[in-house]
């Protein structure tokens, strides 16, 4: 069979099916769904209203409340930063004062050391004598006076 003859046969078959009427369909009545079972005491509880989250979020973001909320949050951030700066200022002030006190303490210690060196060992004897006037009255001084100092072997 040639391709031209095959195409003609297909065209005749298609024409024959187009002219033929379609078989009639019979419709059945729609069946009703079985009744739903209810749990509980039998009284119907009204369902809670459903809120569409996207719609609520959309209304919130497009409304003036959103602008007010962003403004309040920005003001809170500014106040928080101001508090942090005040805290840092207080820490720096305390550090400066501690450095000044340390320098003053170092100067007073060095002046006391130099005065002890100038006065000699009599000042050291005077300072221990003021705490322990006589070895008999002080148990620690009496004990150290009885036992000779331990010397190293080297």
Average pLDDT of the residues of the chain? 76
Identify the residue whose tokens are 């920005």.
74
Percent of the chain at pLDDT > 90 equals 19
Residue 7 has a pLDDT of 79
H or E segment to which residue 63 belongs: none
In angstroms, rounded to a whole number, what is the distance separating the alpha carbons of residues 116 and 111? 9
Helix 121-131 vs helix 64-119: angle between axes, to the nearest 10 degrees? 110
Q: Write the pLDDT tens digit of every residue in 91-106.
A: 999 999 999 998 888 8
Q: What number of other Cβ atoms are within 10 A of residue 123's Cβ?
A: 13
Which tokens sit at 105? 């303490």
pLDDT category at 138 given cuts 50, 70, 90 is: low
| 130: pLDDT strictly greater than 60 | no
Task: Note the pLDDT tens digit of each residue in 22-49.
Answer: 667 777 777 888 777 766 655 566 666 7
Residue-wise pLDDT tens digits, 45-74: 666 677 788 888 888 888 888 889 899 999
Domain boundaries, the chain: 54-107
Whole-structure pTM value:
0.34
Q: Tokens 């099916």 label which residue?
A: 17
- 9 or 142, which is more confident? 9
19 has a pLDDT exceeding 80: no
- Per the CB < 8 A criterion, the answer to whether 140 and 132 are in contact is yes
Residue 40: the pLDDT is 61
Higher pLDDT, 41 or 86: 86
């Amino acid at each position: 069979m040639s391709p031209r003859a095959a195409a003609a046969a297909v065209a005749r078959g298609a024409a024959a099916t187009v002219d033929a009427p379609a078989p009639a369909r019979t419709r059945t009545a729609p069946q009703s769904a079985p009744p739903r079972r209810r749990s509980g005491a039998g009284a119907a509880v009204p369902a809670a209203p459903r809120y569409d989250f996207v719609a609520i979020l959309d209304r919130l973001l497009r409304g003036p409340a959103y602008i007010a909320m962003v403004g309040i949050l920005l003001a809170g951030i500014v106040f928080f930063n101001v508090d942090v700066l005040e805290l840092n200022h207080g820490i720096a002030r305390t550090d400066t004062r501690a450095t000044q006190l340390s320098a003053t303490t170092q100067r007073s210690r060095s002046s006391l050391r130099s005065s002890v060196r100038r006065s000699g060992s009599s000042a050291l004897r005077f300072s221990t004598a003021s705490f322990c006037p006589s070895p008999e009255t002080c148990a620690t001084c009496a004990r150290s006076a009885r036992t000779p100092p331990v010397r190293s072997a080297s």
